[in-house]
Amino acid sequence: MVEGLIAAGGRSRRTGEQYKMLLDLEGRTLIERAVAPMESWCSRIIVVTGHRGHLLRPVLETWSKVEMVDNRDYDQGMFSSIKTGLPLITAERFFFLPGDYPLVSSWVYQALLEVDAPVVVPAYEGRTGHPVLFRSTAIDDILSQPNTATLRDYVIRQKPYILDVDCPGILIDIDTMEDYQQAKVWLAAQGGL
């Protein structure tokens, strides 16, 4: 069994007044585009909300595999959201994806699942991206890390298996309105996902 963990609790400061999780990309919000390709491979997806999390509830309540949990300490950063969601993971393996990575193709999840390693990270043209696949044996170790830690540093220390994939979407995160405009252009050029 495999589950997913999506961090969607940040303030979206760099997108100004726009709450980036609800930005529209070809008829779906960013958060829906993060959930959709993961849904085919996961029995359950935990979305950790925080700032403006109440706005995600109406969007995500229609997704039957999604369970939402609120990170009250979202101001402490993404690692606090990860630590909020991890105790809910019950599967042998789980994916982690920041909610602002809306352009990952579904087949990437399948490709990662075919690798038998404690930590599997996708890479495109030599650059690593998301989602990251973990064995659940990592949960206690991650939870024991200080709040000042990052998941990136943890993953590097684990010497992950790097899987080359032909999907630039593993590198595309939406941090600014300029990123959003570029993602819209890229997605339109791909004919949608």
CATH number at residue 150: 3.90.550.10
pLDDT at residue 52, rounded to an integer: 82
Rounded to whole angstroms, the Cα distance separating 157 from 19 reads: 33
Quickly tell me which residue has 């990251």 as its tokens.
132
pLDDT tens track of the chain, all 193 residues?
999 999 997 655 554 567 889 999 989 999 999 999 999 999 999 999 988 888 999 999 999 999 999 998 887 878 989 999 999 999 999 999 999 999 999 999 999 999 999 999 999 999 999 999 999 999 999 999 988 889 999 999 999 999 999 999 999 999 888 999 999 998 888 876 6
Query: In DSSP terms, which residues pair with 67 in a beta bridge?
Result: 46
126-165 in b/e form (b: 16+ CB < 10 A) is eebbbbbbbebebbeebeebeeeeebeebbeebebeebeb
Count of the separate structural domains present in the chain = 1
- Bridging pattern class, strands 132-135 and 93-98: antiparallel
Q: Among positive and negative, which fits the CA dihedral 119, 124, 126, 131? A: negative
Rounded to whole angstroms, the Cα distance separating 76 from 79 reads: 8
Quickly tell me which residue has 């959709």 as its tokens.
36
pLDDT per position as a tens digit, 35-70: 999 999 999 999 999 888 889 999 999 999 999 999
pLDDT at residue 193, rounded to an integer: 61
Secondary structure of residue 120 in the 3-state scheme: strand
Domain around 177: 2-190
